[in-house]
Amino acid sequence: MDRYERVRVLGRGSFGTALLVRTLQGAGASAFRVVKEVDLDSLDQRRREEALREAEVLKALSHPHVIAYEEALLVEAKLCIVMEYADRGDLAAAIAQRRSSGHRFHEGEAMGTFAQVCLALEYIHGRRVLHRDVKSQNVFLATGPGSARDIVAKLGDFGIARVLQDSECTAVTRIGTPGNLPPEMCENQPYDFKADVWGLGVMLYEMLAFEVPFTAHSFAALVVKICISEPRPVPAVYSAEVRDLLGRLLAKAPDARPSSADVAALPHVRRAIGARLACAR
């Protein structure tokens, strides 16, 4: 880690600490990066090696809407993952700012961000990587190459992602953010890539409604709501097309949800992608 100068702490979570650093050597000297430090002190050697292998999987991902992972290092009992820095913060902060100002996202804006994250999911799912915690806090915003008005959305924080190797393409470990958990995870059922599609739906709902679709005062009550209740309709200013999409993404049964590739192929999602590309030129 001698090649990096620590600037400040960006945040702390259950999976580690995120640091803003400045590179000191090489062609990218003085460029900012994010280092995620994950404490492995409580893990045995086998699990440490597993964590390092997972970080190696992240290094193999290369997509314009996925945060780039540059290297992974074991420093004493910490796994340090060096990744791209997004200079516009995260989507959760952008939503909070809009909520406080009372200015809703135009449908085109929301769909533009949604489409970019959908492309990221289509890409990682095609490589058999399951994110398991798709949410607005894990969508990062960066200034695009076109202009300061060009904002690129990038899916990141794959600290709990996993490559699925079994033939059923399902996982049984329940990991994620409580308010974003799909019904199958709440019920401790096996889950697959459709769990990420549910998270995509929660993210879109939050952009439109300025709140997550399900909230409660206890985890038990939240689980019941997620499994049997329907969210409040999003504001009527948004089109029936988007409302229908939300209904499909937040279907209780995983088999009733489209795949990320199916969502990316929808006409209104393709239009949003085209509009974003035109803006970037």
What does the pLDDT read at residue 96?
A: 96
Whether residues 96 and 73 share a domain: the answer is no
Q: Which region among 21-30, 164-173, 175-184, 272-281 has the lowest average model confidence (pLDDT)?
A: 164-173
What does the pLDDT read at residue 39?
A: 77
What does the pLDDT read at residue 251?
A: 97
The confidence band for 79, taking pLDDT boundaries of 50, 70 and 90, is confident
What does the pLDDT read at residue 121?
A: 97
Whether residues 71 and 190 share a domain: the answer is no
Q: What is the mean pLDDT of residues 6-20?
A: 82
Whether residues 74 and 127 share a domain: the answer is no
CA count, 13 A, side-chain hemisphere, 130: 24
188 conformational bin, left if phi > 0, alpha if psi -120 to 50, beta if neither: left
What does the pLDDT read at residue 142?
A: 93
The confidence band for 165, taking pLDDT boundaries of 50, 70 and 90, is very low
Whether residues 97 and 80 share a domain: the answer is no
Residue finishing a domain among 51, 84, 117: 84
- Residue 225: domain span: 91-280
Q: What is the mean pLDDT of residues 256-266?
A: 96
% pLDDT > 90, the chain = 53
**Tally of domains within the chain:** 2
pLDDT at position 172 over 50: no
What does the pLDDT read at residue 133?
A: 87
* Closest CA relative to residue 139, chosen from 198, 82, 94: 94
Q: Counting beta carbons within 10 angstroms of the beta carbon of residue 88, is it exposed (0 to 12), middle (13 to 18) or buried (19 or more)?
A: middle
First to last CA, the chain: 37
Whether residues 260 and 167 share a domain: the answer is yes
CA count, 13 A, side-chain hemisphere, 59: 13
The answer to whether residues 158 and 132 touch, using CB atoms and an 8 Å cutoff, is no
Whether residues 95 and 120 share a domain: the answer is yes
Q: For the segment 21-43, what is each residue's pLDDT rounded down to a tens digit?
A: 998 866 555 689 998 887 777 77
pLDDT at position 125 over 70: yes
- Output the pTM of the full model: 0.87
- In terms of average pLDDT, the best of 37-51, 73-87, 228-242 is 228-242
The answer to whether residues 19 and 81 touch, using CB atoms and an 8 Å cutoff, is no
The confidence band for 80, taking pLDDT boundaries of 50, 70 and 90, is confident
pLDDT at position 146 over 60: yes
Output the six-digit token pair for 179.
């308010």
Whether residues 245 and 152 share a domain: the answer is yes
pLDDT at position 261 over 80: yes
Across all residues in the chain, what is the average pLDDT? 86
What does the pLDDT read at residue 2?
A: 75
Residue finishing a domain among 84, 99, 121: 84
DSSP output for 209-249: HSS-S---SSHHHHHHHHHH--PPPPPTTS-HHHHHHHHHH
The answer to whether residues 115 and 264 touch, using CB atoms and an 8 Å cutoff, is yes
Whether residues 119 and 213 share a domain: the answer is yes
Q: What is the mean pLDDT of residues 188-213?
A: 95
Binding residues: 36
What does the pLDDT read at residue 167?
A: 33
Q: What is the mean pLDDT of residues 173-196?
A: 84
The residue to which tokens 């794959």 are assigned: 158
CA distance 222 to 45: 36
Whether residues 36 and 153 share a domain: the answer is no
Residue finishing a domain among 84, 99, 134: 84
What is residue 37's three-state secondary structure?
strand
Is 255 considered catalytic here?
A: no
What does the pLDDT read at residue 262?
A: 97
Whether residues 201 and 270 share a domain: the answer is yes
The single residue of 90, 133, 157, 196 carrying the catalytic annotation is 133
75 or 210: which leads in pLDDT: 210
Binding residues for ATP: 36
The residues, ordered by sequence, that sit 6+ positions from 212 with a Cβ below 8 Å of its Cβ are 179, 180, 202, 205, 206
Q: Which region among 5-19, 78-92, 131-145, 235-249 has the lowest average model confidence (pLDDT)?
A: 5-19
CA distance 3 to 159: 23
What does the pLDDT read at residue 62?
A: 92
